[in-house]
Amino acid sequence: MILVNGQAESTLPISDRGLQYGDGVFETIVYRQQKLEYLTAHIQRLKLGCKRLNIDFNDDLLLHDELSRVCTTLTDNSIIKVIITRGSGGRGYKAPHPCSPTRIISVHRYPDYPISYKQGITVRFCKHNLAISPTLAGIKHLNRLEQVMARSEWDSSDIQEGLTFDTEQRLIEGTMTNIFLVKSGKLYTPSLTHCGIEGIIRNKVLSLADKLELSPTIGELSQQDLLQADEVFLTNSVIKVWPVVKLVEPDTLWAHGPITQKIQSQLHDVKH
């Protein structure tokens, strides 16, 4: 099912700035056990992204209604993607004023990841570095070419995710995930002030870490910090938490350790 501005539709005007320039934001929301998970947090980040991009979007109540309509048609766990573009405009980067935003809601099959990924996955380093862009850092804007380029670097099904660094060689995130390191009983995650996406589950893990007295630290992390970590895990709204147990080139092993397991267990029990 696809809704465009509340109507059942599967096409967009070619003049839409989301298509022309990636001028917009999106959210990937899990519909699981007949419920949209972390909906409030997703809508808040969507609105923050629109504000950062100066997209005049104030129809969150209408968006809630449209999401509810979509959910009434679902019988299985699904992925719902919400896109807000600036709307249609002429050629050229300067946006017309006023410009009416476009709302797109699409439903996708829930991914059938092996259950073994919950016990550990294998990752690699990506050669493509993320550009430093503080204005866009944190939000989920439509310009995902960096992630497309990074993800194109491997085809092997033996590798489940690629880790990215910025142009200053700071560890940032996975192609589709946020990353956490555990060292000496403390939790670390990269600062996303320069680039990267501030994930919904990342923020939930940080809140849990405070309650579990894991002394969570957000800061600059290097490749060496990663290699010397005791545990490593990745997060996003779909997978929740995947432990990382192996890195290829340089070959490195980590345990599916007690803190990662505690985070997995606690996150499973969190009310959405």
When the pLDDT of each residue in the chain is averaged and rounded to a whole number, the result is 95
Q: In the predicted model, is pLDDT for residue 272 greater than 70?
A: no
Rounded CA separation 158/121 (Å): 9
- Looking at residue 179, what DSSP letter applies? E
Among this protein's residues, is 81 annotated catalytic? no
pTM for this entry: 0.94
Q: Which two tokens stand for residue 143?
A: 């310009």
Residue 34's region, left for phi above 0, alpha for psi from -120 to 50, else beta, is left
Q: What percent of the chain has pLDDT over 90?
A: 89
Q: What is the residue type of 187?
A: L
27, 37, 66, 140: the catalytic one is 140
The answer to whether the beta carbons of residues 39 and 65 sit under 8 Å apart is: no
**pLDDT computed for residue 90 by the predictor:** 79
**What would the pLDDT profile of 224-233 be if each residue is shown by its tens digit?**
999 999 999 9
27, 37, 173, 231: the catalytic one is 173
Q: Which two tokens stand for residue 18?
A: 């989301």
Q: What is the H or E stretch that residue 223 is in?
A: helix 223-227
Among this protein's residues, is 217 annotated catalytic? no
Cα 78–103–4 angle (5° rounding)? 75
Q: Distance of CA 185 to CAs 224, 231, 260, Å?
A: 18, 9, 10
Among this protein's residues, is 173 annotated catalytic? yes
**pLDDT computed for residue 195 by the predictor:** 97
How many CA atoms does the CB half-sphere of 100 hold within 13 Å? 3
- Which pLDDT band holds residue 79 (cuts at 50, 70, 90)? very high
28, 122, 217, 252: the catalytic one is 28
**What would the pLDDT profile of 188-197 be if each residue is shown by its tens digit?**
999 999 999 9
**What would the pLDDT profile of 28-64 be if each residue is shown by its tens digit?**
999 999 999 999 999 999 999 999 999 999 888 999 9
Of the candidates 179, 185, 186, the residue with the CA atom closest to the CA atom of residue 125: 179
Q: For the residues 108-132, what does the mean pLDDT come to?
A: 97
Q: For the residues 159-183, what does the mean pLDDT come to?
A: 98
Rounded CA separation 215/209 (Å): 7
Q: In the predicted model, is pLDDT for residue 173 greater than 70?
A: yes
**pLDDT computed for residue 271 by the predictor:** 58
Place of tokens 């010397």: 228
Burial class for 146, CB neighbours closer than 10 Å (0-12, 13-18, 19+): middle
Q: For the residues 100-104, what does the mean pLDDT come to?
A: 95
Q: Which two tokens stand for residue 203?
A: 């923020």
Q: What is the residue type of 30?
A: V
Domains of the chain listed by start with CATH number? 2-109 (3.30.470.10), 115-269 (3.20.10.10)
Q: In the predicted model, is pLDDT for residue 269 greater than 70?
A: no
Q: For the residues 113-128, what does the mean pLDDT come to?
A: 97
**pLDDT computed for residue 1 by the predictor:** 87
- What are the φ/ψ torsions at residue 200 (nearest 5 degrees)? -65, -50
Q: For the residues 173-202, what does the mean pLDDT come to?
A: 97
